[in-house]
Amino acid sequence: MRSGPQRVVLKQGTGFRLICLPFAGGSARSFVKLARHTPDDWEVVAVQPPPLSEGGALDLDGLAEFYLGLLAGELHGPGLLFGHSLGAAVAHRMARLRAPDPSEDLHLVLSAPPAPVAPASDLVDLDDAGLFALATRRGFLPEWGVSQDFAMRFLLPNLRADLAVLGKRGWVPEPVAMPVHLLGGSHDIAAPPASLAALDVLAPRSTHLVDGGHLYVTEQPEETARALVRIGREAGAPGPSEADQTVA
């Protein structure tokens, strides 16, 4: 079960800031490996979803408001607000709820975003065996090498609760005032590369692919970091030569 701080500094830095929002079933610690591969001067901050024991379930607006409160002093650039999967939908909703000042120079990165207007109620209503089978097939669960029994007891409750955030309406991509970039996995079944092309309504400034499945952010952290460095150059990060020298 998730516990501990709800805002975690994964890496100290003095320059560029990377703010990470986790995927369904994930946590702030899901970005530890990614943080290790970011440039030396980058600060990496991640948020921890509220524990299941803290009150009732949140909807998309509620989770966005929760994160806005946690990050009230850090939503400025130069930097990236980076959400993966469910985190992408929440990051987008944060941008809709909060009117950013253009001078903040904070860019929005939607990584493997959920299919637009796809309700999660059908997934949430599955029994444990059904949800485990579907999550495994779509790559929602990290490859930890744990038993099915362990996954169903300790991973599925968080995954189910997080999927419920999307509710019956799902995620609705709408224009936001922040500059938007899209990131996807070349072998992602849940959010295939072709789905990114359907997000023209967001007027993305760039689209990048990482060689991997749905959880490339944890399974391919070095390549994900390189993609973020490329995106970061548009948001005030160090130039090509300096950034390339500092990425592990």
| Better-scored residue on pLDDT, 19 or 126 | 19
pLDDT given for residue 219 in this prediction = 95
Instruction: Quick: pLDDT tens for 199-222.
Output: 999 999 999 999 999 999 999 999
pLDDT given for residue 144 in this prediction = 60
d(CA 175, CA 225): 26
Domain boundaries, the chain: 7-116+171-246
Instruction: Quick: pLDDT tens for 131-166.
Output: 888 888 888 877 666 677 877 877 788 888 888 888
Secondary structure (H, E, C), 128-188: HHHHHHHHHHHCCCCCCCCCHHHHHHHHHHHHHHHHHHHCCCCECCCCCCCCEEEEEECCC
**CB-CB contact of 112 with 83 (8 Å):** no
Instruction: Name the CATH superfamily for 7-116+171-246.
Output: Alpha/Beta hydrolase fold, catalytic domain (3.40.50.1820)
Instruction: Quick: pLDDT tens for 11-56.
Output: 999 889 999 999 998 999 999 999 999 999 999 999 988 876 555 5
Q: pTM for the full model?
A: 0.89
Of 147, 121, 119, whose CA–CA distance to 132 is shortest? Answer: 147
Which token pair is 184? Answer: 């996807």
Q: Is 42 exposed, middle or buried (0-12, 13-18, 19+ CB in 10 A)?
A: buried
**Helix 128-138, helix 156-163: angle, nearest 10:** 80
Return the amino acid letter for 37: H
Task: Specify the residue for token string 């993609």.
Answer: 227
**CB-CB contact of 55 with 170 (8 Å):** no
Return the amino acid letter for 209: L
Give yes or no for a cis peptide into 49 (omega within 30° of 0). Answer: no
